């Protein structure tokens, strides 16, 4: 692998032990995947250090304790507790305190602490042709497909990219790999973000690790819908990029169609409906939590929730959770949007979400934290991504419906299905 003078200097320890460790690890990764050299990274969305995972916050403290500094703009991924208000989710204080240690470690390293799966709504907006690294698959697909930045589906090593400003050139960092592998013809007529998560989920299940060329949508989806479409695909499959002409740089609306010989799939309304059916496993009058904000809500979505909840009241015995990041929450507060949401009895939670908090049964945190996942009956969700991981991580039934119907469900105490 060809190394630059900068790479070699880090490897020789010029900038201390952590950049050396990071560069060694990145070289090993690059050699495993035949990367010819490294690219300059313009931005990294990195691991928070997660209190629900044993020894995981300590991973970040170790880096910070050795003096690591982020070389490029870095944002932090979703965490396991709302660090400012863990009481709202009934999280054990010990878990929240441990999570706050990750916040301090990142602060010391110069990360922008947004603790979210949607850092773009917090202002992290990489642009066309910028190589980035991201631990969150939803960020990866939004960056590749909507913003035109270049990112693999990454893991812990996004932190190393942030520390070194470099990443091995393989996968979607190579233009030759950013080509459609499938043609997806959308005959379905999605309405609202939940439908777009389900549409994406249906496409991802067929395409698995491929890159779908998407045709047939009647109108350009708005930013929230594009976000929803991507996370759906990234959840059911390993999709890291879609091509939607007119949206995905550099494809214009009149781009030539995808090559003729690609495997083709057609997604009809029935296919979207089947995703709702798959994730309606709970009883219609027996749910404890209604969740909005997967992925973490944008400011526009906060406006929508505020309008839906204005003058309404969440039924006794039901919790309505709105999850977003701390910066959007502040923007919503400044815009007077939190008033109607909170007055309705809903909770606005930052830094985490149901599948990322102490509800998860697939984690094994330090036993001294006293984490006991609660017995939940059913969670009503408005995202196919949340539904999938409620099933797989919380091991609890779900009821998937549109945002508007989820709010009606929370107010009436009876589930309002999409179909």
Partner 1 sequence: MSGAPREWRGRAIVRGRASGPALPSRTAFSFLGDADIRSGAVVGEMSDLRGQSVTGKVLIVPATRGSAGAWRFLYQLKQHNTHPVAIVTDDLPDPSVVQGAILSEVPIVSGMAKQLAAEVAAGAMLEVDGDEGTVRLL
DSSP line for 186-234:
E-S---HHHHHHHHHHHHHHHHTTS-EEEE--SS---HHHHHHHHHHHH
Cβ at position 1, least distance to partner 1 in Å: 14
* Of the candidate residues 80, 89, 113, 137, the single one contacting partner 1 (CB under 8 A): 137
- Token digits of residue 418: 């999409």
**Span 259-288, contacts to partner 1 by CB under 8 A:** none
Tokens of 284: 């219609």
Closest CA to 83 of 50, 117, 36: 50
By CB under 8 A, residue 33 contacts partner 1 = yes
Give CA 416 to chain center in angstroms. Answer: 26
Q: Is 261 exposed, middle or buried (0-12, 13-18, 19+ CB in 10 A)?
A: exposed
Least distance from C-beta 275 to partner 1, angstroms? Answer: 20
| Site for partner 1 contains 28 (CB under 8 A) | yes
**Residues in region 140-159 near partner 1 by CB under 8 A:** 152-157
- DSSP-based three-state secondary structure for 370: coil
List the interface residues with partner 1, window 332-391 (CB under 8 A): 362-364
In 3D space, the residue among 160, 157, 151, 159 whose CA is nearest the CA of residue 102 turns out to be 159
149 vs 289 by CB, closer to partner 1: 149
CA max distance for the chain: 64
CB of 141: closest distance to partner 1 in angstroms? Answer: 11
Which residue's CB is nearer to partner 1, number 79 or number 346?
A: 79
Task: Tell me whether residue 31 or residue 40 sits nearer to partner 1 (CB atom).
Answer: 31
Q: Of 38 and 135, which has the nearer Cβ to partner 1?
A: 135
Q: How far is the CB of 170 from partner 1 (least distance, A)?
A: 8
Q: Among residues 62 and 408, whose Cβ is nearest to partner 1?
A: 62
Which strands form 264-267's sheet, in the order they lie side by side? 212-215, 182-186, 264-267
Q: Which span sits near partner 1 by CB under 8 A: 50-58, 223-231, 267-275, 335-343?
A: 50-58
Q: How far is the CB of 132 from partner 1 (least distance, A)?
A: 15
Binding of partner 1 at residue 55 (CB under 8 A)?
Answer: yes
In 10 A of CB 116, how many CB atoms? 32
Query: DSSP assignment, residue 243?
Result: B
With binding defined as CB under 8 A, does residue 395 bind partner 1? no
Q: Any idea which residue has 């091991």 for tokens?
A: 395
Residue 79 CB, shortest distance to partner 1, in Å, is 13
First and final CA of the chain: distance in angstroms? 54
> How many chain residues bind partner 1 (CB under 8 A)?
28
Residues 160-179, one symbol each (x = binds partner 1 by CB under 8 A, - = not), give ----------xx--------
Contact 295, 383 (CB under 8 A): yes
Minimum gap (Å) between residue 240 Cβ and partner 1: 9
Rounded Cα distance, 155 and 159, in Å: 9
String marking each residue 227-256 x if it binds partner 1 according to CB under 8 A: -----------x------------------
**Residue from 3, 9, 29, 343 that binds partner 1 (CB under 8 A)?**
29
Determine the Cα–Cα distance for residues 338 and 330; give it in Å rounded to an integer. 9
Considering the complex, state which of residue 137 and residue 323 has its C-beta at the smaller distance from partner 1. 137
Q: Pick from 135, 217, 247, 258 the residue near partner 1 by CB under 8 A.
A: 135
Question: By rule CB under 8 A, what string of x and - marks binding of each residue 178-217 to partner 1?
Answer: ------------------------------xx--------
Alpha-helical runs (H) found in 80-218:
93-109, 137-142, 157-164, 192-207
17 binds partner 1 (CB under 8 A): no
Phi, psi of 238 (to 5 degrees): -105, 30
Query: Of 300, 306, 308, 301, which Cα lies nearest the Cα of 340?
Result: 306
Beta bridge partners of 398: 379
Residues that bind partner 1 (CB under 8 A): 25, 28-29, 32-33, 50, 53-56, 59, 135, 137, 152-157, 170-171, 208-209, 238, 362-364, 392
């Amino acid at each position: 692998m060809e190394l630059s003078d900068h790479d070699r200097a880090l490897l020789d320890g010029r900038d201390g032990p952590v950049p050396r460790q990071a560069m060694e690890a990145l070289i090993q990764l690059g050699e495993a995947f035949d990367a010819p050299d490294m690219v300059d990274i313009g931005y990294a969305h990195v691991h928070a250090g997660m209190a629900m995972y044993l020894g995981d916050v300590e991973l970040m403290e170790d880096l910070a304790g050795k003096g690591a500094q982020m070389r490029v703009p870095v944002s932090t991924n979703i965490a396991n507790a709302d660090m400012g208000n863990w009481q709202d989710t009934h999280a054990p204080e010990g878990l929240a305190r441990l999570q706050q240690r990750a916040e301090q470690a990142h602060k010391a390293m110069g990360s922008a602490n947004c603790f979210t799966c949607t850092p773009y709504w917090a202002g992290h907006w990489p642009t066309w042709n910028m190589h980035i690294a991201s631990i969150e698959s939803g960020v990866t697909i939004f960056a590749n497909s909507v913003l035109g930045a270049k990112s693999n589906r990454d893991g812990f090593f996004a932190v190393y990219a942030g520390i070194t400003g470099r990443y091995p050139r393989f996968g979607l960092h190579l233009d030759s790999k950013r080509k459609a592998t499938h043609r997806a013809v959308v005959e379905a007529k999605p309405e609202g973000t939940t439908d777009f998560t389900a549409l994406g989920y249906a496409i991802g299940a067929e395409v698995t690790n491929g890159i779908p060329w998407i045709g047939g949508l009647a109108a350009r989806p708005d930013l929230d819908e594009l976000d929803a479409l991507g996370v759906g695909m990234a959840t059911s499959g390993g999709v890291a990029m879609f091509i939607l002409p007119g949206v995905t740089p550099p494809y214009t609306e009149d781009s030539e169609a995808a090559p003729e010989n690609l495997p083709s799939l057609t997604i009809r309304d029935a296919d979207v409906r089947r995703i709702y059916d798959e994730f309606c496993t709970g009883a219609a009058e027996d749910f404890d939590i209604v969740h909005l904000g997967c992925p973490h809500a944008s400011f526009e979505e906060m406006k929508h929730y505020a309008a839906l909840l204005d003058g309404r009241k969440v039924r006794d015995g039901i919790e309505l959770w709105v999850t977003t990041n701390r910066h959007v929450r502040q923007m919503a507060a400044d815009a007077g949007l939190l008033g109607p949401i909170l007055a309705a009895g809903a909770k606005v939670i930052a830094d985490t979400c149901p599948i990322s908090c102490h509800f998860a049964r697939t984690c094994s945190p330090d036993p001294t934290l006293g984490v006991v996942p609660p017995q939940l009956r059913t969670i009503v969700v408005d995202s196919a991504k949340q539904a999938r991981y409620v099933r797989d991580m919380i091991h609890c039934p779900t009821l998937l419906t549109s945002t508007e119907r989820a709010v009606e469900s929370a107010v009436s105490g009876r589930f309002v299905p999409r179909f």
